[in-house]
Amino acid sequence: MNKHTKTSDRQTNSAPRVNEPTPVRPTSGEGKFPTVRMRRRRYHPLVRNLVRETRLSVDNLILPLFVRPGRGVKKEIPSMPGNFQLSVDRLVEEVSQAVELGLKSFILFGIPEHKDAVGSSAADDEGIVQQALRALRKAHPDILLITDECFCEYTDHGHCGVLSEHGGRRDVDNDATLPLLAEQCVSHARAGADMVAPSGMLDGMVQAIRQGLDTAGFTWLPIMSYAAKYASGFYGPFRDAAESPPQFGDRGGYQMDPGNGDEALHEVALDLEEGADIIMVKPALSYLDIIRRVKERFGVPVAAYNVSGEFAMVKAAAQNGWIDERRVALEILTSIKRAGADIILTYFAKEVAAWLK
């Protein structure tokens, strides 16, 4: 037997080398049909419950709410049935009902009485969100209060910060907006916010907010960053709700292009380096792949926003009798969680809390 034959025999009889793939075996045991019958785990509803891999829980849901000046105001948002612009007193009632259903986490969006070019009312300690925080904290000391941090609701032009011109184009002045954003967050923290959620997609926003909060003594307060927020067509109903459509152009200069996935990972990495505690992907349903990639790459808590357009489509189809609203809503939210989201912001939160009881 020659040298080559002996070497070949040794390789054939030895264990697989490190670089060789390990054979994949069925996770349910050896064999195939009829030994393996996948339907055995589906034949009975209680068996299906036992082996379900992904479960929704009210503990993972955040309910978005819109607060505006006035008293006794509960103005339904036509494009978002069951959601309202609420005055502070009615907001407290709405949260009380949600708490009874088991919800514990809420994110607030403000509709101010006064708007100007720099969104000055956003950092006013007597601003609408600040008033809401104090009232809710008094009524419900144990709930989690999160505030959306941006300027589109507060500026008369509807963009997410101070404007300037570069190369003949008007756009948000990134660096001029950062200190104003930090001021807004500190004001909300003083009023009782448990977490701040910057949504403007500005470069350096997490770092500016972290420094502002730490300097003001809020070193313990977490940041949930809208790290991968896309320039999406699914935001239409929200802009009605928050009265914040841009008065010219669009937000493509700071929100992400829907065609980009690798860029989302870069954005997330930067926000984590700057001190973000929780990462958000927005919207959710058309970006399940991004949620999965972020979760697998970074292994940090991931939030996903089931946005207004996603909600409105389900509501409209259900009202026309085309779909089963409960079944479809739960299926969508389960898919978001299955993709890797630990936290879901959704306008379905109250319905889901009732359905899961």
Residue whose C-alpha is closest to residue 307's, from 244, 196, 194, 230: 230
Looking at 30-113, list the stretches that DSSP marks H as alpha helix, in order from N- to C-terminal side.
45-51, 88-101
Asked whether the beta carbons of 212 and 183 are under 8 A apart, the reply is yes
3, 104, 138, 282: the catalytic one is 282
Distance, in Å, from the CA atom of 139 to the CA atom of 142, rounded to the nearest integer, reads 9
What residues have CB less than 8 Å from 193, skipping those under 6 apart?
A: 133, 145, 146, 147, 185, 221
Phi then psi for residue 106, to 5 deg, are -140, 145
115 included as an active-site residue? no
Residue whose C-alpha is closest to residue 289's, from 340, 214, 225: 340
Instruction: Pull the structure tokens for residue 9.
Output: 């025999």
346 SS3 class: strand
29: region left, alpha or beta (phi > 0 left; psi from -120 to 50 alpha): left
Specify the long-range contacts of residues 327-332, CB closer than 8 Å, at least 24 apart. Answer: 330/56, 330/355, 332/285, 332/306
The dihedral over CA atoms of 82, 85, 90, 95, expressed in degrees to the nearest 10, equals: 60
3, 75, 115, 229: the catalytic one is 229
Q: Is the peptide bond before 21 cis (omega within 30 degrees of 0)?
A: no
Asked whether the beta carbons of 156 and 112 are under 8 A apart, the reply is no
Q: Is the peptide bond before 16 cis (omega within 30 degrees of 0)?
A: no
Instruction: Pull the structure tokens for residue 47.
Output: 């068996």
State the pairing for strand pair 169-172/302-306: unpaired
229 included as an active-site residue? yes
Q: Which residue has the tokens 């940090």?
A: 300
Tell me the catalytic residues. Answer: 229, 282
